[in-house]
Chains A and B, each alone.
Chain A
Amino acid sequence: MFKHAAVNSEEELYKRIKANDKSAIKELYTAYIGFLSAVCYRYITDKDDAKDILQNSILKIITKINTFEYRGDGSLKAWMTKILVNEILDFIKHKEKSNIFSCDTDIPDMEDEYAPQTEDIPPALIQEILRQMPLGYRTVFNMYVFEQKSHKQIAQVLGIKESSSASQYLRAKRLLAKRIKEYKEKRKEENK
């Protein structure tokens, strides 16, 4: 009985789902859908597409959770994210592949070493900046930074050259840094 109270424990949730506790599935959804939605929106700007992908991924998670092996706190979240990102990448690869390279605009003229301080930047702003990036930048940057894939892996998944992945990442990074800088400057001016 008390076990049910431990909604926040990933392991408890996992055990209950494995024990065929139907309510645990809803709890799992409630607990992680916010995070998964954020991940999805970071890649996919179209609301309908994002919803489709999320739905697909959640169903996949629910149906395949019995194949998941719990390996400590966070492993379930990581596993779910992986499924989602795979779903997203499948979508991008098949539906929007032609767009990945069609975005060679707006190369920021900035030195590579510029490292903006992001502590005081709201996550929602970063999310918005990423969403406004061209698809190629966005995808590569997300994969490299958040999914921690190597350029080799990214190139393999997206079917592009490794050098292309690296250059898109660099441009994305510069663009993000530029946007952050712009935001900071704007805020400074507002504070004056």
Chain B
Amino acid sequence: MKQDWTNQLRDKMAGYEEPAPEGLWDEIEKSLDSIPKNKKSHKTALITVLKYSSATMAAVALCLIGFFFINKRNYDHSYRTSSNMISEPANKNIAISKNSNISVYNNILASAKYVNIKKNTSNPNTYSAEKDFSRNILNNEVYTELPTKKEEKTDTIKSISGKDNTTNKKEYNYPKHYYNNTALAGNLHHVENKWDFNLYVSNIPSQEINNNSYSSLLMAARNNNSSMDICYGLMNDPIPGNKYNYETSDPLLNVQSNSLSKENKTKIKHKQPVRFGITAKYSLDSRWAIETGVTYTYLTSDIYSGADANNYQSKQKLHYIGIPINAIYTIWNNKIISVYISGGGMGEYCIDGKLTTDYTIDNIVESSADENIKDNHIQWSINSSIGFQYNFLPHCGIYIEPGASHHFKDGSDIQTIYKEHPTDFSLKFGIRFSIK
């Protein structure tokens, strides 16, 4: 009726086309290309470089320390004879422990008191260690050699419980190990059998590679070295930006904010990652350990783009499974407190992801779309951290691990906090216990 001719008009105009404005596609292409460049040119790049450098240096330092100790041990090992072993280790151990106590005192302010206390209490024990030499040997052997026989396991347990048992036979089976441990790795180790086990347990750092929060369950499956570590940590992100809105985070959405309409804004809010992990640790000696396992990380981001009445709101949920490999070096420890550094890398794979988008036009949610995110890239990262552990029970301790990590570009288009803050600091808390 009334509408008839306008309906006709609509049909008539449905196929009508006009030439596009000149140079439109060129500018669109330029906008699309310029996204990554824009991102890098921000002044945050400098901060990123600095953070990256610090993480890298930490990792390099870790490696150097490792080589130093390994080389030194080889040297000492080759020039010692077994006849020296009984007399030398204890004496040397005392001397070293004094020195290292001092250095720890200087270096680790927070732990200074504990160090001194330990020093006082441990020296008499160290002298007496000659008497209980067999226990020392046994424990050191555990650090280095990880005996696999069941009877050895029981021996260790007995010695830990403070009983002198007939473990002397071990002494001659593992003299090298004993020596190596005391002379090389045992800077601060009090050669005290009871404490050795506790110290050893506290040497197990959480295995988190990344800065991000997660909790970790450490399961070791190797005789007495087995330990279990359960930790839960929330990522502590001191760099502002983790939770604030910014306009250049999503390469896709960024286009819109770069585009000419000033009314359009894109905001992305990355929420704190949550990570859980189960890891197993293998102790190479009294100081060094490696660990690996499986982690699960949950990343969420809220994305908002558009103008007042017309916008898109997306929620991105990503599930990552990661495999970390870490090297752990214990700087200092005693019965209650342990200080260690940890460094390594992790590969993470996005097993599942979903992008839920509400498409709002004229203030009305017109449509909602679910999109599965599939990505075959592996997110690699490196990390280093320093850990402090407090043992409130003989086989149970809590720890805190500040650290830094760097996530490398994985080549995917998925926008994550890893890309936004590839290098970041983190703080992890956890609980850790050993199982026999």
Contacts and interface: CB of A to CB of B under 8 A. Distances in A.
B255 interface: yes
Nearest to A147: B10
Interface stretch (B22-30, B168-176, B317-325): B22-30
A79 B247 CA distance: 25
Contact of B263 (A66, A67, A90, A173): A90
Contacts of A38: 13, 16-18
A35 interface: yes
A145 B9 contact: yes
A59 B255 contact: yes
Nearest to A85: B361
Contact of B24 (A51, A82, A157): A51
Contact of B18 (A34, A55, A156): A34
Contact of B20 (A54, A144, A148, A153): A54
Interface in A108-130: 112-113, 115-119, 121, 123-124, 126-127
B4 A55 contact: no
Interface string B298-341: 00000001011110101000000000000000000000000000
B21 A47 contact: yes
A146 B255 contact: no
Nearest to A47: B21
A133 interface: no
Interface string A124-160: 1011000000000000000011101000010011000
Given A56-B264, A67-B312, A82-B361, A37 B20 contact: yes
A119 B4 CA distance: 12
Nearest to A25: B32
Contact of A69 (B253, B264, B369): B369
Given A90-B307, A118-B9, A52 B28 contact: no
B116 interface: no
A156 B8 CA distance: 26
B363 A35 contact: no
Contacts of A90: 261, 263-264, 307-310
A54 B21 contact: yes
Interface string B338-351: 00000000000000
B367 interface: yes
A91 B255 CA distance: 17
A15 interface: no
B305 to A, nearest CB: 8
Interface residues of B, number: 48
A156 B362 CA distance: 8
B322 to A, nearest CB: 25
B8 A118 contact: yes
B362 A153 contact: yes
B13 A123 contact: yes
| Secondary structure type dominating chain A contacts | helix
B43 interface: no
Nearest to A34: B17
Contacts, number: 143
B261 A145 contact: no
Contacts of B79: none
B371 interface: yes
Contact of B31 (A55, A67, A91): A55
Contacts of A60: 255-256, 259, 264
A64 B361 contact: no
A94 B261 CA distance: 10
A126 B4 contact: no
Interface string A162-192: 0000000000010001000000000000000
Interface in B234-286: 252-253, 255-256, 259-261, 263-264
A100 B90 CA distance: 94
A86 interface: yes
B28 A29 contact: yes
Contacts of B309: 86, 89-90, 93, 157
Contact of A67 (B5, B20, B21, B371): B371
B259 A56 contact: yes
Given A112-B2, A145-B10, A58 B28 contact: yes
15 contacts: A33-B20, A34-B18, A37-B21, A38-B16, A56-B261, A64-B357, A66-B355, A66-B371, A68-B369, A90-B261, A112-B2, A121-B12, A123-B12, A123-B16, A127-B16
Given A54-B24, A112-B2, A177-B5, 17 more contacts: A33-B24, A34-B20, A35-B15, A37-B19, A37-B20, A42-B13, A53-B260, A58-B28, A67-B371, A90-B307, A94-B263, A115-B2, A119-B8, A119-B12, A124-B16, A156-B362, A157-B362
